[in-house]
Amino acid sequence: MMDIEVPDILPSQQDMELIDILWRQDVDLGARREVFDQNHRQKVHALQRRSEQEEEKKQQRLRDEQKALLDQLQLDEETGEYIPKPLASGAVTPPPANPLVVIQNVNFSEGDDSMSFDECMQLLAETFPLAEDTSACLDSSVPPVPSSDTHSLMPSKQPALPLASLSPAPVIADRRGPEMDQAWMELWSLPELQHCLNLQMEDPLETTAYLPTSIPDVQEGNYTYYPLSNAPNVGPNPVEACPPTFINAFEEVFHDMVAPEPMMGDANLGPKGFCGDAFYPDPILCPPEAVEANVMEHKESGILPELPKKPPLNAVDAHSHSPLGEALERCKQEPMAEVPDSDSGISLNPSPHASSPEKSVYGDGSFGFSDSDMDDLDFNPGSAESDYSEMFSLNFQPDDFQQSALMLSQAGQPEAQQDKKPKLHNAKPAEEGGQSEGPFTKDKQKRRSEVRLSRDEQRARALRIPFTVDMIINLPVDDFNELMSKHQLNEPQLALVRDIRRRGKNKVAAQNCRKRKMENIVGLEYELDSLTEEKELLQMERSKNGSSLRKMKHQLSTLYLQVFSMLRDEEGKPYSPSDYSLQQTTDGSVFLVPRTKKTHAKSKDHKPASAD
DNA sequence: TTAACCTGTCATCGG
DNA sequence: CCCCGATGACAGGTT
- Averaged in consecutive runs of 10 residues, what is the pLDDT profile of chain A (612 residues)? 35 48 40 36 52 68 58 39 37 35 34 42 46 36 35 35 35 39 41 38 34 33 33 36 36 36 35 33 34 36 33 33 34 32 30 32 36 38 34 35 38 34 32 32 45 67 82 86 84 86 91 88 86 96 97 92 86 84 86 69 43 40
Residue A386 CA, nucleotide B13 C1', distance (Å)? 38
Residue A42 CA, nucleotide C9 C1', distance (Å)? 29
CA distance A281 to A277: 5
3-state secondary structure A140-204: CCCCCCCCCCHHHHHHHHCCCCCHHHCCCHHHHHHHCCHHHHHHHHHHHHCHHHHHHHHHHHHHH
Per the CB < 8 A criterion, the answer to whether A155 and A164 are in contact is: no
Alpha helices in A255-398 (DSSP H): 261-269, 288-303, 311-319, 323-333, 357-365, 371-378, 384-392
Residue A440 CA, nucleotide C15 C1', distance (Å)? 12
Residue A452 CA, nucleotide B7 C1', distance (Å)? 10
The reply to whether A252 Cβ lies less than 7 angstroms from strand B is no
CA distance A463 to A572: 116
3-state SS class at A470: helix
Residue A454 CA, nucleotide C13 C1', distance (Å)? 16
CA distance A543 to A549: 10
CA distance A238 to A111: 15
Of chain A, the end-to-end C-alpha distance in Å amounts to: 125
**A545 contacts: CB under 8 Å, gap ≥ 6:** none
The reply to whether A32 Cβ lies less than 7 angstroms from strand C is yes
The reply to whether A511 Cβ lies less than 7 angstroms from strand C is no
Q: Which nucleotide is nearest to A511 (CA to C1')?
A: B7
Q: Which residue is nearest to nucleotide C5 (CA to C1')?
A: A509
* Protein-contacted positions of strand C (CB under 7 Å): 3-9, 13-15
Smallest CA-to-CA distance from A461 within A293, A334, A327 is with A327
CA distance A407 to A392: 23
Smallest CA-to-CA distance from A118 within A144, A145, A154, A65 is with A154
The reply to whether A6 Cβ lies less than 7 angstroms from strand C is no
Q: Which nucleotide is nearest to A453 (CA to C1')?
A: B8
Distances (CA, A) of A90 to A110, A294, A319, A528: 10, 20, 32, 82
Q: Which residue is nearest to nucleotide B11 (CA to C1')?
A: A506
The reply to whether A128 Cβ lies less than 7 angstroms from strand C is no
The reply to whether A444 Cβ lies less than 7 angstroms from strand B is no
**Whether the model pTM is above 0.75:** no
CA distance A454 to A446: 12
CA distance A375 to A379: 6
3-state SS class at A215: coil
What is the model's pLDDT at position A506? 92
Report long-range pairs for A322-326 (Cβ below 8 Å, ≥24 apart). A322/A262, A322/A265, A322/A266, A322/A351, A322/A352, A322/A388, A323/A199, A323/A351, A323/A352, A323/A354, A324/A262, A324/A348, A324/A349, A324/A351, A324/A352, A324/A388, A324/A392, A325/A266, A326/A199, A326/A203, A326/A351
The reply to whether A494 Cβ lies less than 7 angstroms from strand C is no
Q: Which residue is nearest to nucleotide B8 (CA to C1')?
A: A507
> Which of chain A's residues 471-530 bind strand B, using a 7 Å CB cutoff?
499, 502-504, 506-507, 510-511, 514
What is the model's pLDDT at position A128? 45
Residue A419 CA, nucleotide B9 C1', distance (Å)? 25
What is the model's pLDDT at position A545? 97
The reply to whether A450 Cβ lies less than 7 angstroms from strand B is no
The reply to whether A549 Cβ lies less than 7 angstroms from strand C is no
Smallest CA-to-CA distance from A287 within A338, A250, A335 is with A250
Residue A21 CA, nucleotide C7 C1', distance (Å)? 37
Residue A411 CA, nucleotide B2 C1', distance (Å)? 43
The reply to whether A517 Cβ lies less than 7 angstroms from strand C is yes
What is the model's pLDDT at position A571? 87
The reply to whether A455 Cβ lies less than 7 angstroms from strand B is yes
The reply to whether A513 Cβ lies less than 7 angstroms from strand C is yes
Per the CB < 8 A criterion, the answer to whether A228 and A215 are in contact is: no
Smallest CA-to-CA distance from A140 within A127, A121, A168 is with A121
What amino acid occupies position A376? D
